[in-house]
Structures are given as structure tokens and as C-alpha cells.
Amino acid sequence: MLLKYAAGDMGDLAADSTVLFVPQFEKISGRTLKRLDEASSGAVTTLLKSAEFTGKEGEIAAVYHPHGFKSDRVILVGLGERKSLTADSFRRAAGNVSRFKGLTSSKKAVFHFEKVEREEYFQAAVEGCVLGSYRMLQFKTGEDRKNTDRLAEITCAVDSPRLVGRLKKAAERGRIFAEGQVLVRDLASTPSNHLTPRLLAARAQNLAKKHGFSCRVLDEKAIAKEKMGAFLAVARGAKEPPRFIILEYRGAPAGRRPVVLVGKGITFDTGGISLKPSLDMHEMKSDMSGAANVLATVVNAARLKIPQNVVGLIPATENMPSGTATKPGDIVTSRKGLTVEITNTDAEGRLILADGLDYASKFKPQAVIDIATLTGAALIVLGYSGAPIMGNHPGLLKRIKQAADATSEKVWEMPLWDDYRERKKSTIADLVNSFGRPAGTIMAGIFLESFIGDYPWAHVDIASVDLERSGKPYTPKGSTGFGARLLTQVLYRWKKL
Ligand code: BES
Ligand code: MN
Ligand code: ZN
């Protein structure tokens, strides 16, 4: 989709459709509504009287052939109440309109932002449009494969020429943020036979070349040389060999310590010998969403030219049951030297992250953030609404919360109390990897904490928010891609902790 920018009166821009974002109204008031009502011989009055369109969230109406407009139709999209307007109002409204036939059948559209001055609103509108119209067509054939959308060009427009520069910057940023999230959705929706650890590594290498960052891949031998015993314990059961992917983006002088991101890359989680029930097991193809988020965030950092150094670490493997698989009760030695009694092979994410978090120390990081579809219990704590976060550094956690406010990817901090640390011990090894049902999300965090180095650390558990089951304004059914905008925003606003 081509994005263009312009300034001018909303009636003066020629297009198939002109989209206007309208806050809720009770009577025809304000210049725009009055003018539209006149231009449509009272159609807006009719819409208001019939309550067909009053600017509520979710409402869309089209006015055809408005007099005095160079556009064939004006599409009104509801923003909801003016007093509770946020960037997400624009994201949701743009998401809603992005699937509206009148718009998708247009070739050229204008998004006119009337009296909007906030950059984050422009950005959010572009994000909503890209995210709302997302569809995964790669595995469809025939008629279903065809993308019937004609929308090829959107001109973002404001009244005043002095705003165009800011509009353009914000909209381009919105496109990058959203395309990162789309990359996560694509990868997470790709089934495990089409996205093995090796294929994920190849994809990372292609993206690195395209966007100008470095990508090194450790194969099974190199991983063994690094003594990543916890990671290898998970990989043992699979025929597909594991990969450890190292991404490095340089946006600052070499001396600047990097922010390191670690993402869980289980390309399929059967549970291993502690086999999962078959109901919904297919959803475990997206157990590499954390990895996809890390990859997308590094891509975003490169595209946005963020002036920081960023490292992405991705342990990638399948978790399979087989004659060579790790068995419950087995004890392994992690890269850090701590021994782990693997009491449940389905608690595999924390094992691969343990070695990833330890490896992160190599980079002398300013901070480390890991992201993972780690615990089913995350859904029990927060439902589908948000992601539990935890960590050892209030300043870093605050950054993540602030970023979450900006991107509307909700997070909530869990406590890491001393009481929990008592429960992680094994009778015969240093640690066990699973702890029963109470505080499952926190206990996973407590386990990870044992493997971190001397750095500020935060953990984001996205198991609760990774899949959308019904469809929201800018989140169609399927993989959500939650986390990519969040991490990008953290880096975008980064300053020394
Ligand atoms: N990948 C799962 C967590 C998960 C569950 C993600 C549902 C998305 C949706 C993880 O590896 C897992 O199996 N966790 C176990 C841990 C338990 C054995 C301690 C869980 O949550 O049940
Ligand atoms: Mn598991
Ligand atoms: Zn898992």
C-alpha cells in the first residue's frame, strides 16, 4: 500500500473514498457535520435521527456523491466519546473501517484528519488500518487466495500545510510498527512443518540482510560447545535440529552497551514426554511468538534507525516426545552450571530461556527483556486481556508499562516475593522446572530469575494474549502479534536506566 501525504480542504482531494474520523455527536454541530449534511441533502441528519450513525465506536456510514467534494464517497467512522479519545480510539476506528467494503473496493482513499494535531493519533490510525486488514493468505488456494481488495493508495491529509511534515513522520512510523506486528502474526500462524528452527533461522538471516543488521546462527554443535544443557535437553527429542539465533543491530557507537531481547522459539510444543492433551494442541505451532517478537523488534529498530544497540537472542527448537527425548526426573546442567531436575517436560520454555538469559551476559547488557508464551496460567491470572510482566528492576518495568500505555498492549506486574523462591528447590538437584498449579506464571518467572546475570531484567509472558479467538477492531481472529509494538516502543523511547 502506497502512503501519500497532503494538506488541504477535505472536499478538494480527489479520491474514490474520503475517510473522516468522527467523535460521538448528539446533534449536527461543528463545521464538518454541517457541511456534510448540506453536501448530502440532509443525509447526515437522517443518519443521526435513525441512530444509524452517531459517531459511536464501531459505527460506519457512507455518504455518496457529496456535493462540493471531489471524492465519490465520504466514509464516516465513529471514534466514540470525545472526552475519552486516545490513540487507541483511532487505532480501533481505523481497524473497523479497514474492512469496510466501501473502502476496500476503492482504489484511492484519503484519510482526512480534521482538527487532529497529535502525532500519535496519525500513527495509530495507520497502525489500525494495516493491522485491521491483515489476512494470512499464504496457505489458501483458488478463489480464497485472491485478495479482492483494490485499495492501493492512501493519502493522509490534514487541513494545514504546517502539519504535513509531522503527519508524514508519524504515519511512516505507524506503518513500520504495524508491519513488525504483521511479521509476528505471519510467523506465529505458520505451522511447524513450514517453520522449523532451521527455517526460522534462514528467515532471520534474510531479514538481517534486507534491513542491515547482523545475524549469526549456532547449530547443534555450536550450541553443545556453549554448554547450553537446558536448551539441549528440550531439543533432544526432536529430529529437527535446534538453532540459536543471534541478531545484532548497531544504532549507536560500539562502546554503548546493548539492550538484549530474548525470545522463546519453540516451533512446536507437544509437551514432550509429559505430552499435552490433543485438544487445541495444534495451537502450539505459535509457541515461537516470543522469538518472532524479538526478530520483528530488531527489524523495527533497524527500519526506524533507533540510536541504540540492540541484540536479539532466539533459542529455537521443537519440543517432541521420542526415544531420545528427555524424561521426567532427568537432571541436566544448564549453561550457567546450575542443575535442573526436569519434573515436567512441558515446562520447556523456561529451560531454553534459562540458557538464553545466561548467554545474554556476554553482551554486558544495559538491560535484558525476555518475551515468551510461557505459561497457560497467564490466562488464569489476567484472562485474554493483558500480559503478566515481572522483573528485578522497577525502572525497567516502568518503561514497559509506559510503552504499553502508548501501544495499548496491556501489561500487569506480578510480584516476585521471597516466599516463591522457597518452592523452586529440588531435593537432589539445584532446581526443579515445574512447581504445580499455584502461581504458575510467577513461578516460571522465579525460575528464570535464577539464570539471569548482573543486569536489569524483565520478563513478559504473552501466553494469555497471543491468540485472538473472536476478532477485535484491529485484531482479526488468529495470532495477534502482541509484543512487537510494545518492545519497539520501549526501544524507541529508550534512555539510560
Ligand atoms: N507453551 C506452553 C504455555 C502455553 C499454554 C502457551 C497455552 C499458550 C497457550 C508452555 O510450554 C507450557 O506448556 N507450560 C506449562 C507449564 C507447566 C507444565 C508448569 C503450562 O502452562 O501448563
Ligand atoms: Mn510446554
Ligand atoms: Zn511451550
> What are 354-374's pLDDT values in tens digits?
999 999 999 999 999 999 999
Q: How far is the CA of 117 from the centre of ligand 3 (A)?
A: 44
Q: Establish whether residue 318 lines the binding site of ligand 1, counting it when its CB lies within 6 angstroms of any ligand atom.
A: no
Please give the Cα distance from 22 to 222 (Å, whole number). 57
Atom 16, ligand 1: which residue's CA is nearest? Answer: 347
Q: How far is the CA of 379 from the centre of ligand 1 (A)?
A: 10
- Closest by alpha carbon to 311, among 495, 487, 497? 487
**Neighbour count for residue 410 (Cβ, 10 Å):** 16
Q: How far is the CA of 373 from the centre of ligand 3 (A)?
A: 6
Are 267 and 149 in the same domain? no
What is the domain-level CATH number for residue 422?
A: 3.40.630.10
Provide CB contacts within 8 A for 336, sequence distance 6+.
354, 355, 358, 451
Q: In this structure, are residues 189 and 479 in contact, taking their beta carbons and an 8 Å threshold? A: yes
- Closest by alpha carbon to 265, among 313, 202, 317, 312? 317
The answer to whether position 433 is within a domain reads: yes
Q: In this structure, are residues 1 and 145 in contact, taking their beta carbons and an 8 Å threshold? A: no
Q: What's the confidence (pLDDT) of residue 115?
A: 83
Atom 5, ligand 1: which residue's CA is nearest? Answer: 376
Are 120 and 216 in the same domain? no
Are 137 and 217 in the same domain? no
pLDDT per residue over 13-53, tens digit each? 999 999 999 999 999 988 999 999 999 999 999 999 999 99
* pLDDT at 473 > cutoff 90: yes
> Given the CA of residue 348, which atom of ligand 1 is nearest to it?
11
Q: How far is the CA of 236 from the centre of ligand 2 (A)?
A: 15
Are 355 and 466 in the same domain? yes
Ligand nearest to the CA of 446: 1
Q: What is the mean pLDDT of residues 78-98?
A: 97
pLDDT per residue over 123-158, tens digit each? 999 999 999 999 999 999 998 888 888 999 999 999
**Mean of per-residue pLDDT scores for the chain:** 97
> Given the CA of residue 319, which atom of ligand 1 is nearest to it?
11
Q: How far is the CA of 141 from the centre of ligand 3 (A)?
A: 31
Residue 153: domain span: 2-159
Please give the Cα distance from 245 to 63 (Å, whole number). 52
- Which are the catalytic amino acids? 276, 350
Block residue for cell numbers 473472536: 470
- Closest by alpha carbon to 371, among 479, 272, 286, 292? 292
Atom 17, ligand 1: which residue's CA is nearest? Answer: 347
Are 268 and 384 in the same domain? yes
Provide CB contacts within 8 A for 57, sequence distance 6+.
78, 79, 80, 89, 92, 93, 96, 473
> Given the CA of residue 434, which atom of ligand 1 is nearest to it?
19
> Given the CA of residue 373, which atom of ligand 1 is nearest to it?
6
User: From the CA atom positions of the chain, what is the Rg in Å?
Assistant: 24
Are 186 and 153 in the same domain? no
pLDDT per residue over 219-267, tens digit each? 999 999 999 999 999 999 999 999 999 999 999 999 999 999 999 999 9
Q: Establish whether residue 434 lines the binding site of ligand 1, counting it when its CB lies within 6 angstroms of any ligand atom.
A: yes
Q: In this structure, are residues 111 and 19 in contact, taking their beta carbons and an 8 Å threshold? A: yes
The answer to whether position 165 is within a domain reads: no
Are 129 and 250 in the same domain? no
Block residue for cell numbers 513478559: 460
Q: Which three cell numbers stand for residue 400?
A: 514497559
Provide CB contacts within 8 A for 435, sequence distance 6+.
423, 424, 443, 447
Please choose from 275, 375, 437 the residue to mutate so as to test ligand 1's pocket, defined by most ligand atoms within 8 A of CB: 375
The answer to whether position 73 is within a domain reads: yes
> Given the CA of residue 435, which atom of ligand 1 is nearest to it?
19
Q: How far is the CA of 375 from the centre of ligand 1 (A)?
A: 4
Q: Could you give the C-alpha distances from 180 to 190, 194, 262, 404, 486, in angstroms and in order? A: 16, 20, 17, 16, 11
Q: In sequence order, what DSSP letters do the residues of 269-302 get, joined into one string? A: E--TTSPPPSTTGGGGGGTTHHHHHHHHHHHHHH
The answer to whether position 168 is within a domain reads: no
Q: Establish whether residue 172 lines the binding site of ligand 1, counting it when its CB lies within 6 angstroms of any ligand atom.
A: no
Q: What's the confidence (pLDDT) of residue 116?
A: 82
Are 386 and 444 in the same domain? yes
Q: Could you give the C-alpha distances from 185 to 93, 268, 324, 469, in angstroms and in order? A: 21, 16, 32, 14
Q: How far is the CA of 214 from the centre of ligand 3 (A)?
A: 27
The answer to whether position 336 is within a domain reads: yes
Q: Establish whether residue 347 lines the binding site of ligand 1, counting it when its CB lies within 6 angstroms of any ligand atom.
A: yes
Q: Could you give the C-alpha distances from 58 to 61, 80, 89, in angstroms and in order? A: 10, 8, 10
Total domains in the chain come to 2
Q: How far is the CA of 284 from the centre of ligand 2 (A)?
A: 8
The sign of the CA dihedral 387, 389, 394, 400 is: negative
Q: What's the confidence (pLDDT) of residue 148?
A: 84
The answer to whether position 164 is within a domain reads: no
Q: Say if pTM beats, i.e. exceeds, 0.95.
A: yes
Helix (H, G, I), strand (E, B) or coil at 146: coil
Please choose from 276, 288, 346, 459 the residue to mutate so as to test ligand 1's pocket, defined by most ligand atoms within 8 A of CB: 346
**Neighbour count for residue 395 (Cβ, 10 Å):** 12
The answer to whether position 326 is within a domain reads: yes
User: Residue 116: beta bridge partners?
Assistant: none
Are 136 and 265 in the same domain? no
Q: Establish whether residue 351 lines the binding site of ligand 1, counting it when its CB lies within 6 angstroms of any ligand atom.
A: no
Provide CB contacts within 8 A for 199, sequence distance 6+.
none
The answer to whether position 497 is within a domain reads: no
The sign of the CA dihedral 145, 146, 149, 150 is: positive
Helix (H, G, I), strand (E, B) or coil at 435: coil
> Given the CA of residue 284, which atom of ligand 1 is nearest to it?
1
Tell me the pLDDT band of 117, cut-offs 50, 70 and 90. Answer: confident
Helix ranges restricted to H, 98-196: 101-104, 119-132, 142-145, 164-189
pLDDT per residue over 327-355, tens digit each? 999 999 999 999 999 999 999 999 999 99
Q: Establish whether residue 344 lines the binding site of ligand 1, counting it when its CB lies within 6 angstroms of any ligand atom.
A: yes
Q: Establish whether residue 346 lines the binding site of ligand 1, counting it when its CB lies within 6 angstroms of any ligand atom.
A: yes
Tell me the pLDDT band of 304, cut-offs 50, 70 and 90. Answer: very high
Q: Which three cell numbers stand for residue 193?
A: 512443518
Q: Please state the length of the chain.
A: 497
**Neighbour count for residue 77 (Cβ, 10 Å):** 29
CA angle, residues 466, 472, 473, in degrees to nearest 5? 130
Are 246 and 392 in the same domain? yes
Are 385 and 434 in the same domain? yes
Please give the Cα distance from 447 to 109 (Å, whole number). 51
Q: Establish whether residue 269 lines the binding site of ligand 1, counting it when its CB lies within 6 angstroms of any ligand atom.
A: yes
Are 132 and 264 in the same domain? no
Ligand nearest to the CA of 444: 1
